């Protein structure tokens, strides 16, 4: 992690991988910005990179696109001794990781995340995959990256909204695991690169610590990372994945999860208010547009979750810095919380 790392990718790679040929998988926005410099760095160090660029946007994260990438890798002569570099945001991280996991039954995956969200969230934890028509991330594999290179300089070209949505996951991490970071965020001023670097580092630690306890998402410990995501995913879906960015939908989902936490987990009212204020401070939405069809959100939740006896597993926060899973939340609690949004 640092700055100016894009130019030094080959140096870092040589340290970790004794392999030569690789695919650099990127999207149509990111490749024109950074792929040249990375390719040059690799070629001059004796690597043999093949650049594969796919259209930017979530609609590229499909099984079909993953298959097309594999075909191009085969045509380029890449084999079991090759590796994959994912250069882009979470979309590229997920599909390039999936390709690395299945190509010749698994080759190393290097991530160069280029969005704040990808740095603090999607590049950590080894979840890779693609979407289907029925929903997001339904097909995938756990495949941990061999190396993640965070170059803070790449964030300079990121549009403001994309930058802010990364803070939804950062604020989520603070709520579920780090009360001190929550206070840092309360007095956060956009400013020095070193402060941002420390913040990203802290988020990587939080996420990796939680993932390490339950790498394959089996015991429920990893599931606390889904705080705000039950309602958040439903809002994303209800807006046809166009109306809200993921982080914006999660921001609204966090507001709903806090209302439910007040009711079911004893979250103090003043802490709920502090959370809403901090989301607003980072330019994230905390209210739905008045005309937004709330019914579509309930439909999406019912589609997404199994309500056993009218209840669902839900992540609540009893106080800032802590989170737990409960089975006490009803569909009605969720409906009320969404109505208040
Ligand atoms: N694997 C996980 O654990 C995990 C966790 C969270 C999210 N995700 C996935 O991550 C994806 C969302 O990630 P995202 O928000 O990074 O989306 P994204 O990868 O689609 O990137 C957002 C947009 O920003 C552009 N962009 C990326 N970097 C840029 C840069 N440096 N300068 C200018 N433009 C740039 C992209 O081309 C794209 O248009 C979703 O597919 C989600 O499912 C995965
Ligand atoms: Zn998320």
Nearest residue (by CA) to ligand 1, atom 34, is 158
Q: Kindly state the DSSP code that residue 121 receives in the 8-state scheme.
A: I
Q: What percent of the chain has pLDDT over 90?
A: 85
Which residue among 91, 129, 149, 152 has the greatest number of ligand 1 atoms within 8 angstroms of its CB, and so is best to mutate? 91
Nearest residue (by CA) to ligand 1, atom 22, is 89
Closest CA to 114 of 147, 154, 145, 149: 154
Cβ contact 22:83 at 8 Å: yes
Closest CA to 186 of 285, 258, 271: 271
Is any ligand 1 atom within 6 A of the Cβ of residue 143? no
Helices 36-44, 9-16: crossing angle, 10 deg rounding = 50
Is any ligand 1 atom within 6 A of the Cβ of residue 166? no
14: confidence class by pLDDT, cuts 50, 70, 90:
confident
CA distance 248 to 169: 10
16: confidence class by pLDDT, cuts 50, 70, 90:
confident
Q: What is the pLDDT of residue 306?
A: 64
Distance (Å) from CA 65 to ligand 2 centroid: 22
Closest CA to 324 of 316, 312, 332: 316
Q: Is the four-CA dihedral 238, 239, 245, 249 of positive or negative sign?
A: negative
Is any ligand 1 atom within 6 A of the Cβ of residue 121? yes
| 274 has pLDDT over 90 | yes
Written as six digits, the tokens of 203 are: 């988020």
Distance, C-alpha 293 to centroid of its chain: 26
Q: What is the pLDDT of residue 15?
A: 84
| 118 has pLDDT over 80 | yes
| 307 has pLDDT over 70 | no
Mean pLDDT (whole number) for 236-241: 90
Q: Are strands 147-148 and 127-132 parallel, antiparallel or unpaired?
A: unpaired
Helices (H), ranges, the chain: 9-16, 36-44, 63-75, 90-102, 116-117, 160-177, 179-186, 193-213, 229-238, 246-265, 269-281, 294-304, 331-339
For tokens 């401070």, name the residue: 281
Mean pLDDT (whole number) for 2-7: 93
CA distance 204 to 218: 21
Relative to the CA of 128, which ligand 1 atom is closest? Answer: 1
Q: What is the pLDDT of residue 84?
A: 98
- The whole-model pTM stands at 0.95
CA distance 328 to 319: 17
Q: What is the pLDDT of residue 193?
A: 83
| 300 has pLDDT over 90 | no
Mean pLDDT (whole number) for 94-114: 98
225: confidence class by pLDDT, cuts 50, 70, 90:
very high
| Nearest 10 degrees: Cα torsion 8, 12, 14, 15 | 150
Q: In 3-state terms, what secondary structure has residue 212?
A: helix
CA distance 110 to 276: 36
Q: What is the pLDDT of residue 305?
A: 63
Is any ligand 1 atom within 6 A of the Cβ of residue 58? yes
For tokens 């994230």, name the residue: 284
For tokens 């204020």, name the residue: 277
Question: 307 or 105: whose pLDDT is higher?
Answer: 105
Closest CA to 159 of 115, 113, 194, 191: 115
Q: What is the pLDDT of residue 18?
A: 82
134: confidence class by pLDDT, cuts 50, 70, 90:
confident
| 3 has pLDDT over 70 | yes
Q: What is the pLDDT of residue 251?
A: 98
Mean pLDDT (whole number) for 95-112: 98
DSSP 8-60: GHHHHHHHH----EEEEEEETTTIIIIIHHHHHHHHHTT-EEEEEEE-SSGGG
| 263 has pLDDT over 80 | yes
Mean pLDDT (whole number) for 24-32: 98
């Amino acid at each position: 992690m640092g700055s100016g790392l894009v130019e030094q990718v080959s140096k870092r790679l040589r340290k970790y991988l004794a392999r030569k040929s690789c695919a650099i998988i990127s999207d149509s926005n990111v490749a024109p910005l950074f792929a040249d410099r990375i390719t040059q760095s690799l070629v001059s160090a004796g690597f043999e990179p093949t650049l594969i660029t796919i259209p930017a946007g979530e609609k590229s994260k499909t099984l079909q696109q993953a298959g097309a990438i594999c075909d191009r890798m085969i045509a380029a002569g890449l084999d079991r001794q090759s590796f994959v570099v994912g250069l882009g945001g979470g979309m590229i991280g997920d599909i390039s990781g999936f390709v690395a996991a299945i190509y010749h039954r698994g080759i190393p995956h290097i991530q160069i995340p280029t969005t704040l969200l990808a740095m603090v969230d999607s590049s950590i934890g080894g979840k890779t995959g693609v979407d289907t028509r029925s929903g997001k991330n339904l097909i995938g594999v756990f495949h941990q990256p061999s190396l993640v290179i965070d170059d803070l300089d790449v964030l300079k070209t990121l549009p403001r909204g994309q930058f802010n949505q990364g803070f939804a996951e950062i604020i989520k991490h603070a709520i579920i695991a780090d009360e001190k970071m929550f206070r840092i965020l309360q007095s956060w001023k956009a400013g020095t690169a070193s402060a941002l670097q420390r913040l990203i580092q802290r988020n990587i630690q939080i996420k990796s610590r939680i993932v390490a306890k339950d790498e394959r998402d089996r015991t429920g410990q990893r599931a606390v990372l889904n705080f705000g995501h039950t309602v958040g995913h439903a809002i994303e879906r209800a807006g046809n994945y166009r109306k809200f960015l993921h982080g914006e939908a999660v921001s609204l989902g966090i507001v709903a999860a806090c209302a439910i936490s007040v009711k079911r987990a004893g979250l103090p009212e003043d802490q709920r208010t502090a959370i809403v204020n901090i989301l607003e401070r980072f330019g994230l939405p905390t209210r739905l547009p008045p005309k937004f069809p709330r019914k579509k959100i309930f439909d999406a939740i019912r589609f997404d979750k199994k309500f056993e006896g009218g209840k669902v597993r839900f992540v609540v926060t009893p106080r800032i810095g802590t989170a737990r899973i409960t089975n006490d939340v009803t569909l009605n609690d969720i409906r009320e919380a969404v109505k208040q949004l």
